[in-house]
Every structure is written in C-alpha cells, then in structure tokens.
Amino acid sequence: MTKFFFNKEKTKCAPGSHDFCVQRKAYVHPHCVPPGSIKKIIWQITKEDDTCRYVRVDYLLLSLS
C-alpha cells in the first residue's frame, strides 16, 4: 500500500499536516493466465477521521509476450 498526503489546497504535504490521504493498493488477480498478467489497483481517498470518500478500481493488463 502506498499513501499520498494532501492539504486543502490540493498540494502534497507531510503526514500529520494533511487533510486527505490517497491510498493506492495493488493486488495480483488470482485467476489469470499467465499468472501475474492482471493487476487490480484500488485508489481510496480518506479524510482525517478515516471515512472513505471515493474509491476507484483500475485493472492493469500486462502483455507477457
């Protein structure tokens, strides 16, 4: 999991002085051929009190040829 911290002006800032946190979680899809060719990426935006605001799910299809 990767975390990015932003303030109200929508600029990156240090942890602790942020208003929003963008979390990026990446998973390998368990049922794909060849293995590891599909990655699921979940983007989640939370406020200071850890309430989920928005979620976006992306799929990354890799060409292993």
> What's the pLDDT tens digit per position in 46-64?
887 777 778 889 888 887 6
Q: Is 64 left (phi over 0), alpha (psi -120 to 50) or beta?
A: alpha
Q: What is the pTM of this model?
A: 0.71
Q: Are 55 and 42 in contact (CB under 8 A)?
A: yes
What would the pLDDT profile of 29-42 be if each residue is shown by its tens digit? 888 888 888 999 99
Give the mean model confidence (pLDDT) for residues 21-36.
88
